[in-house]
Amino acid sequence: MLLGLPLLSLAIWVPIAAGLAVLATSSDRTADNARWLALIGAALGFVVTLPLYAGFDPQAHGMQFQEAASWIPRFHINYHLGIDGVSLLLILLNSFTTILVVIAGWQVIQTRVSQYMAAFLVLSGVMNGVFSALDGALFYVFFEATLIPMFIIIGVWGGKNRVYAAVKFFLYTLLGSLLTLVALIYLYNAADGSFALLDWYKLHIGMTEQVLVFLALMAAFAVKVPMWPVHTWLPDAHVEAPTGGSVVLAAVMLKLGGYGFIRLSLPIVPDASHALAGFVIALSLIAVVYIGLVALVQTDMKKLIAYSSIAHMGFVTMGVFLFNGMGLEGAVLQMISHGFVSGALFLCVGVLYDRMHTHVLAEFGGVVNTMPVFASFFMLFAMANAGLPGTTGFVGEFLVTLGAMQVNFWYAALAATSLVFGAAYTLWMYKRVVFGAVANDHVAQLRDINLREVLFLALLAAVVLGMGIWPQPMSVVLHTSVNDLLAHVAQSKL
């Protein structure tokens, strides 16, 4: 542990403390205080996660940076944290995204600024908690606690139909996770009163129980990912959420589901995972193909990107259940890549929305004439979303498709259609918004992006390009974790 500091605890509690500080010290009259304080908090939150990467040993097996303390002795629940390569990348993604969100909300949010910033900071800390929890109960508490700030974010700062979207988001995800709670309690009893994930990994349970546990866990994770057919909450939530909400939702929150599959479902019930892999892959392929087609006909930019998210997350769930190194590593890289790309796309839509107050495609056209700088950034992210080689979008999808090819030709063939559909819906959207003649007076009056907007788009562009060209820094920390997980999953626990 670097410098002897509890780095994971810092990653969780620094943003939360910063959020509470923002809440406590600022009101709407002193909104600028809230903004700067939030930025400092978010930056600090990111800085404390950097030593995690620096100190991470890519060769080491098992969990690193472990911290353990007794939390609820009566149920042997421990405050037990630890990360492997998968969690490490997601924590970095999350903390980085928080900075972007704070900057993105700088001018747009004018009412209840401190509450807005605080909600995002708290959410960021809580999600770091999910990614580092090694105790089932702790995991669940963090997992569920993400709902409250997001509910508030969508409901308070969202669009016209925000209440419907917020309530739908909350109840949908709560339904899934309550069933998971049943599974967690079952595992607790089965493990003779232990909530430790590492104990659960060693647990031998029968096939029927494994399947039930798998399905109960899947209820939560599939809704979060979201997998077809439980995806319907996501387009609503995205359309109504403020830009920052959409960014965090797409970039980080959806990953909780994929992460859950990797951290809980696979290692705890490997036999059921193997048995039901075909089922999950089928759902994933439906997401890739069918949702890709659905995205094609959207008339609202945010909805289109939301559907595109679902299609891209289909790669994640498929990659996880291929049970080979390329698939799993590709799935994790796809999660990270999708985090940056979809976050960037939502920020781009946000930039347009701030100026035009709409995200209906038909209202746009010829934006390139008035916003050339913006158009080039948007182009890069659209290409990344379509999976262009040289961007992060390519790496994950390519690896998963290769992995699929090893298992079954048709999996790969169907997955590869995404390259077609993805290019079709993204580039068509880009064409309708950016190219052509100036569509109307509103577009004619658009002003190009300001320094603040250049800042966050440039940051993202650097990441999207950099990691697309040189994904090594990401994949190097994954190898051992992925191989260990696959070795563990290969052993039957019946």
Partner 1 sequence: MTMGTTNLAAAAPEIFLLAMVCAILVVDLFLDDERRHWSYGLTLLALAGTALIALSAGPGTRHAFNAMFVDDAMARVLKVFVCISVAAMLIYGRTYCRERGLFRGELFVLSLTATLGMMVMISASHFLTLYLGLELMSLSLYSMVALSRDSAMATEAAMKYFVLGALASGMLLYGLSMIYGATGGHGGPPTLQIAEVAARVLSNQANQTLLIFGLVFVVAGVGFKLGAVPFHMWVPDVYQGAPTAITLLIGSAPELAAFAFVLRILVQALGAHPLLIEWQQMLILLAVLSMAVGNVTAIAQSNIKRMLAYSTISHMGFMLLGIVSGSLNGYGAAMFYMVTYVLTVSGAFAMIILLSRGGFEADSLDDFKGLNQRSPWYAFLMLLIMFSLAGVPPVVGFYAKLSVFQAVMAAGMTWLVVVAVLFSLIGAFYYLRVVKLMYFDDPQDSVPLAPTADVRALLTINGVAVLVLGLLPGGLMDLCQRAIQNSL
Nearer to partner 1, 206 or 466 (CB): 206
Query: For residue 369, how many other CB atoms are within 10 A of its CB?
Result: 16
Q: Please answer whether residues 406 and 348 qualify as being in contact, where contact means their C-beta atoms are separated by less than 8 angstroms.
A: no
Give the C-alpha separation, 438 to 136, whole Å.
55
Enumerate residues 6+ apart whose C-beta is below 8 A from 377.
Answer: 344, 348, 449, 457, 458, 461
User: Which residue from 40, 44, 145, 469 is in contact with partner 1, where contact means CB under 8 A?
Assistant: 145
Residue 396 CB, nearest distance to partner 1 (Å)? 32
Complex with partner 1: residue 147 or 217, whichever CB lies closer: 147
d(CA 319, CA 463): 23
Residue 108 binds to partner 1 (criterion: CB under 8 A): no
Q: Which amino acid is located at 357 in the chain?
A: H
Binding part of the chain for partner 1, among 169-177, 379-387, 434-442, 485-493 by CB under 8 A, reads: 169-177
Tokens of 155: 């409901």
What is the closest distance, in whole angstroms, from the C-beta atom of residue 152 to partner 1 in the complex?
6
User: Which three-class secondary structure state does DSSP give residue 445?
Assistant: coil
Helix, strand, coil abundance in the chain, percent, nearest 5: 75, 5, 20
68 strand-pairing partners:
80
Contact 16, 119 (CB under 8 A): no
What's the rounded Cα separation, in Å, for the pair 401 and 328? 11
Q: Which stretch binds partner 1 (CB under 8 A): 2-10, 144-152, 200-208, 355-363?
A: 144-152
**What span, in angstroms and rounded, lies between the C-alpha atoms of 404 and 415?**
8
Q: Does 140 bind partner 1 (CB under 8 A)?
A: yes
Question: What is the C-alpha to C-alpha distance for residues 336 and 340, in angstroms, rounded to an integer?
Answer: 7
d(Cα 347, Cα 350) in Å, to the nearest integer? 5
Burial 377-414 (b: 16+ CB within 10 A, else e): bbebbbbbbbbbeebbbbbbbbbbbbbbbebeeebbeb
CB of 101 to partner 1, least distance (A): 19
Q: How far is the CB of 168 from partner 1 (least distance, A)?
A: 11
DSSP letter (8 states) at residue 156:
H
Convert residues 149-168 into a mask of x (bound to partner 1 by CB under 8 A) and - (unbound).
--xx--xx-----xx--xx-
Which string of x and - marks every residue 173-202 that binds partner 1 (by CB under 8 A)?
-xx--xx-xx--xx-xx-------------
**If binding is defined by CB under 8 A, does position 230 make contact with partner 1?**
no
Q: Judged by CB under 8 A, does residue 148 bind partner 1?
A: yes
Nearest residue (CB) to partner 1, 170 versus 394: 170
Specify the residue, 172 or 411, whose C-beta has the smaller distance to partner 1: 172
Nearer Cβ to partner 1, position 113 or 429? 113
**Residue (77 or 467) nearer to partner 1, CB:** 77
* Phi, psi torsion values for 71, nearest 5 degrees: -115, -60
Instruction: Decide: is 147 part of the binding site for partner 1 (CB under 8 A).
Output: yes
Least Å distance, CB 123 to partner 1, is 13
* 185 versus 356: smaller Cβ distance to partner 1: 185
By CB under 8 A, the residues from 64 to 103 that bind partner 1 are 70-75
Pick 59 or 208: Cβ nearer partner 1: 208
Give which of 91, 219, 95, 248 is closest to 157, Cα–Cα: 248
Task: Identify residues 322-361 at the interface with partner 1 (CB under 8 A).
Answer: none
> Does 53 engage in binding with partner 1 (CB under 8 A)?
no
CB of 376 to partner 1, least distance (A): 38
DSSP H helical ranges for 371-450: 372-386, 392-407, 409-434, 441-444
- The secondary structure of residue 18, as a DSSP letter, is H
Which of positions 118-137 make contact with partner 1 (CB under 8 A)? 137
* Closer by beta carbon to partner 1, 182 or else 459: 182
Show the beta-strand stretches assigned E in 215-334: none
Query: What's the closest the beta carbon of residue 255 comes to partner 1, in angstroms?
Result: 20
Query: Of the candidates 84, 144, 329, 453, which one interacts with partner 1 according to CB under 8 A?
Result: 144
Residue nearer to partner 1 on the CB measure, 147 or 322? 147
Determine the size of the site formed for partner 1 (CB under 8 A): 35
Q: Of the candidates 439, 395, 432, 397, which has an alpha carbon nearest to the alpha carbon of residue 414?
A: 397
Q: Which is nearer to partner 1, 71 or 428 (CB)?
A: 71
Q: Which pair of tokens denotes residue 218?
A: 């899947």
Q: Which residues bind partner 1 (CB under 8 A)?
A: 70-75, 112, 115, 137, 140-141, 144-145, 147-148, 151-152, 155-156, 162-163, 166-167, 170-171, 174-175, 178-179, 181-182, 185-186, 188-189
